[in-house]
A and B are shown apart, each in its own frame.
Chain A
């Protein structure tokens, strides 16, 4: 079966750095997405990785290793507004998105 694993919840301190991991086992691979979702709101797109390596976008970076079935989202200089759930999703060989359950990130002052 297809599977996406993420930690359920993480806690970090304002101003610090946090890394949210995502491992996957899917039928084929056509890219990995990260979305941010504040409670009760719509998910919003953060990043897309299809090749191995690090993609940097401001305070957020996303890394992919296809051979290991592994990605992480790195958030730097954490702000209180970064408190949200972070969803990892993989596009399989049929171009269908397989979603992880999301990681709830709690930022403390």
Chain B
């Protein structure tokens, strides 16, 4: 079955540590996205990538980094520079970016807690 796999589902981190969240898709989608979801707020875009080896900052990229070395994979690193990293992180993909009817398929999410 095609879909998006995020891992780990739950992650605990000590302050000052970097962590990497995995996102893999087998939908053959060109575009991939990372969102952050906090209680009482809409999804906020961290980074997105429309093609391999290219990515752009979203609205809240500070303290995060990504790579897109393969079409299927778009890992997100939460660095120690991110001031408030505790959140629910959602990875998504779409056939292409930059078009109207751009339906997103989401992964099940990764919940990061900083101790």
Q: Which residues of A contact B (CB under 8 A)?
A: 4, 8, 30-31, 33, 35, 40-45, 48, 50, 87, 89, 91, 95-102
Report B-chain residues with C-beta under 8 Å of the C-beta of A43.
43, 90, 104, 106
A94 nearest CB neighbor, chain B only:
B98
Interface residues on B, range: 20 to 34
A31 touches B104 (CB 8 A): no
The answer to whether the Cβ of B103 comes within 8 Å of any Cβ in the partner chain is: yes
Report A-chain residues with C-beta under 8 Å of the C-beta of B109.
40-42
5 sample A-B contacts, Cβ–Cβ < 8 Å, listed by A number: A43-B43, A44-B106, A48-B103, A96-B45, A98-B42
The answer to whether the Cβ of B115 comes within 8 Å of any Cβ in the partner chain is: no
Given contacts A101-B41, A102-B42, contact A95 B98 (CB under 8 A): yes
The answer to whether the Cβ of B100 comes within 8 Å of any Cβ in the partner chain is: yes
Report B-chain residues with C-beta under 8 Å of the C-beta of A89.
42-43
CB distance from A31 to the nearest CB of B (A): 5
B102 touches A95 (CB 8 A): yes
Report B-chain residues with C-beta under 8 Å of the C-beta of A35.
104
Report B-chain residues with C-beta under 8 Å of the C-beta of A42.
4, 90, 106-109
Given contacts A50-B100, A91-B100, contact A97 B45 (CB under 8 A): yes
